[in-house]
Copies of this chain bind each other. A is one copy, B any other.
Amino acid sequence: MATLRVPDVVPSPTQDCERLKKAFKGLGTDEEGVIWILGHRNASQRRKIREIYQQLYNESLMDRLNSELSGHFRKAVILWTLDPPERDAKLANEALNKKKKGVDHLTVIIEIACASSPNHLMAVRQAYCSLFHCSLEEDITANVTLPLRKLLLGLVSSYRYERELVDTNLADSEAALLYDAIKKKYLDHDDVVWILSTRNVFQLKATFQCYKQKYGNSIDQDIKRSGTSDLESILRMVICCLDTPEKHFAEVIRNSVIGLGTDEDSLTRAIVTRAEIDMMKIKGEYLNMYQSSLDNAVSDDTSGDYKNILVTLLGKRF
């Protein structure tokens, strides 16, 4: 369930554009006005606003937001205002071009491939080609080394069946295949990649359950025990995103606010990408996992306009 709150009576896109234009007028920007409008519109309403804004003022709303706003607030508003597939294509591209060590920056690609709908993933691949003159798969190959590359390529190419259909015999036999691969520390085995990137999520949940019943430990525990390289950590993230995406995002938010300083990029990404999908569930999971409120954690760790847009998307300002 989403936390985004849209008013019962939504102004016309033209009215919204006129108010936005007013918020941009003169020196300085009325940030509250921007949040008030865009922070309470869903993806198709925001698309309409972008189109009408272009028609009315012959300028791109995205360019204008870019020049009017700044800092983490700007990044949050821009990611929120973009069409979701385009937003995710840009996040994926940014991640692939980071050339960072480790694998944390690849998290967003796992999220797109494993915690999104199959149609959304297809739309992201289409947007990626339109924006970056090559396919997502080509950029993954150019920027990620084996064996991670193989797993990521499988995952982003997937188009899973979407309805709830579970074959318990299959769950049993594929749990055995996964167990065998983990025991042999052969985590990038073709079967593993194929199962995780092809089976529907209901089937996979059944397979993971079956794994625990048959072998005692959860698949996550067994992978954790089998090693601590990048492949293990990515594989555990993949399984979490497929099985319980709300847990994954609760963790992302927790890690971004805990300790000194804030990881604004991760915090923004998690809230912006899930506010229209399952943020209510993520809040529940957060409370469960950390015995504290996600809303408070975000409020306490941020400030100013940046805090206001996040808290708005979390459904706490209306």
Residues of B within 8 A of A161 (CB): 129, 133-135, 138
What's the minimum C-beta distance from A217 to chain B, rounded to whole angstroms?
Answer: 27
Cβ of A75 within 8 Å of any chain B Cβ, yes or no, is: no
A159 at the interface (CB under 8 A from B): yes
Does A165 lie at the interface of the complex (its beta carbon under 8 Å from any beta carbon of B)?
Answer: yes
Which residues of chain A from 76 to 135 have a CB within 8 Å of any chain B CB?
118-119, 122, 125-126, 129, 133-135
Query: Could you tell me if B133 and A165 are in contact, using CB atoms closer than 8 angstroms?
Result: yes
Could you tell me the distance between the alpha carbons of A135 and B197 in the complex, rounded to whole angstroms?
11
Q: Does A190 contact B (CB under 8 A)?
A: yes
Decide if A150 is an interface residue (CB 8 Å cutoff).
Answer: yes
- CB of A129 within 8 A of CB of B159, answer yes
Q: Write the A6-46 contact mask toward B (1 if CB under 8 angstroms, else 0).
A: 00000000000000000000000000000000000000000
CA distance A150 to B135 in the complex (A): 20
Residues of A within 8 A of B (CB): 118-119, 122, 125-126, 129, 133-138, 141, 150, 153, 157-163, 165, 190, 194, 198-200
Q: Can you spell out 22 A-B residue pairs with CB atoms less than 8 angstroms apart?
A: A119-B126, A122-B122, A125-B159, A126-B159, A129-B159, A129-B161, A129-B162, A133-B165, A134-B165, A135-B159, A135-B161, A135-B198, A135-B200, A136-B159, A137-B158, A138-B161, A138-B198, A141-B194, A141-B198, A150-B190, A153-B194, A157-B159
Given contacts A135-B198, A138-B199, 11 further A-B contacts (CB under 8 A): A129-B159, A129-B161, A129-B162, A133-B163, A135-B200, A137-B159, A138-B198, A153-B194, A157-B157, A157-B158, A157-B159
